[in-house]
A and B are shown apart, each in its own frame.
Chain A
Amino acid sequence: MIKSLDPRVTRAEIEIENPIAPLNELDQWETYEVFHQKKRGDQHMHVGIVHAPNAEMAFLFGKEQYGRRGFSVNIWVVKTRDVFASEYDDSDIFDTVPEKQYREAGGYKVMEKINKYKKGV
């Protein structure tokens, strides 16, 4: 039996030779992605993952894991397998984005007028 400074461990009467069989793959609960919202109207932000057998339980765990410190008003949980994610191999689809400054508001000609107005001309 394992004798520990922690009385709870000693009480558990754990054999020293204690072969723990690894879990089968299907014995693992699936994962849920957790999103929390700091205040009403804010975007929900992705904060992490929990293992859970269903959505309610994922919420319970998400609340404690990610919502017990700081402010939270709302939590979303989504099954990880329901998230459609792009492949990292395809990340070249974003390659030319930095060149397209004409798509950014900062590139508009009207900015000159706005800057002039701000300067009080």
Chain B
Amino acid sequence: MNQNSTEAIKELLYKMADDLLIIGHRNSEWTGLGPILEEDISFSSMAQDKIGQAQAIYQLLHDLGEQEPDTVAFTRNANQFHNSQLVELPNGEYDFSLVRHFLYDHADQLRFEALANSSYEPLAKVARKVKGELKYHVFHANTWLVKLGSANEESHSRMQTAFNDAWNYALGMFEKSAFEDQLIAEGIFEGEDILQEKWLANITPYLIKAGIEIPASSNWKPVFGGRIGQHTAELSPLVEEMSEVFRYDPTAEW
């Protein structure tokens, strides 16, 4: 692995880990406030899975010379995060959180699935390990989306509205990195274009079942910028709240 591909891999790892950490934190905000006990526990448990996956990837970054996972997660400012803007948006009502969960987790599953065959073996190993967790997360998302999309007038219109609000942000997940061609050429990652294509193919059957319509592609306006540190005003307070305890005493042993 030459110096150049290390930079490319780091960029890939950062955006994945930051997506996972931020969505994990957002989803964990439902803990204790979820719609019913069983769902509260399930959603919280999946949020923990996300944080665990983030940690595994921050560890890979540490192995490549970056700081300790906790330091990376809790001491950066918002503009140093590489997550897509989709994951930092506030939870809103449960409909929005579920739609985001659906859109994000399908992409996440496909990304890891592709990376299970990556030429960068440490990442391939992590990808193979989280396969089962992701399968459950996607199953959970599909079940809720189809159930609420087709339950009654109110639930359907709420889901469609949440979907419309999330859509352009979801497309922003596939913002290309400066190292895109290199990652593809070296067999590290298949690239955002292919990923987006697969994602669309995977989510469509569930959206049809749920009766949720995808906006016409002529109206697609992907919200990019997250991967290069451009974020909404929502990320900064999130990061502050998430890292409050850590920053209180960075040397504390847990």
Contact = CB atoms under 8 A, between A and B. Distances in A.
B136 interface: yes
Contacts of B68: none
Nearest to B45: A64
A64 B48 CA distance: 12
A64 B38 contact: yes
Given A8-B29, A68-B45, A60 B143 contact: yes
B45 A52 contact: no
A36 interface: no
B139 A60 contact: yes
A63 B135 CA distance: 13
B1 interface: no
Contacts of B29: 8
A50 B136 contact: no
Nearest to B237: A7
A40 to B, nearest CB: 16
Nearest to B39: A61
Main DSSP-derived SS at the B contact region: helix
B38 A52 contact: yes
Given A7-B241, A53-B147, A61 B42 contact: yes
A68 B38 CA distance: 13
Given A64-B45, A65-B38, A54 B147 contact: yes
A42 interface: no
Interface string B26-63: 00010001001111011001000000000000000000
A60 B139 CA distance: 8
Given A8-B33, A60-B139, A64-B45, A51 B38 contact: yes
Given A7-B241, A8-B29, A51-B36, A65 B41 contact: yes
B38 A61 contact: yes
Contacts of B38: 50-52, 61, 64-65
A11 B147 CA distance: 29
A47 interface: no
B143 to A, nearest CB: 5
Interface string B118-153: 000000000000000000100110011001000000
B36 A60 contact: no
Contacts of B42: 60-61, 63-65
Contacts of B39: 61
Contacts of A83: none
Contacts of B36: 29, 51
A89 B30 CA distance: 44
A54 B136 CA distance: 17
Contacts of A63: 42, 136
A57 interface: yes
A29 B147 CA distance: 14
17 contacts: A7-B241, A8-B33, A9-B33, A29-B36, A50-B38, A51-B36, A51-B37, A51-B38, A57-B143, A60-B139, A61-B39, A61-B41, A63-B136, A64-B38, A64-B41, A65-B38, A68-B45
Given A51-B36, A56-B147, A65-B38, 14 more contacts: A8-B29, A12-B33, A29-B36, A53-B147, A54-B147, A57-B143, A60-B42, A60-B139, A60-B143, A61-B41, A61-B42, A64-B45, A65-B41, A68-B45
Interface of B: 29, 33, 36-39, 41-42, 45, 136, 139-140, 143-144, 147, 241
List 4 tightest A-B contacts by C-beta distance, closest first. A61-B38, A64-B42, A56-B143, A64-B45
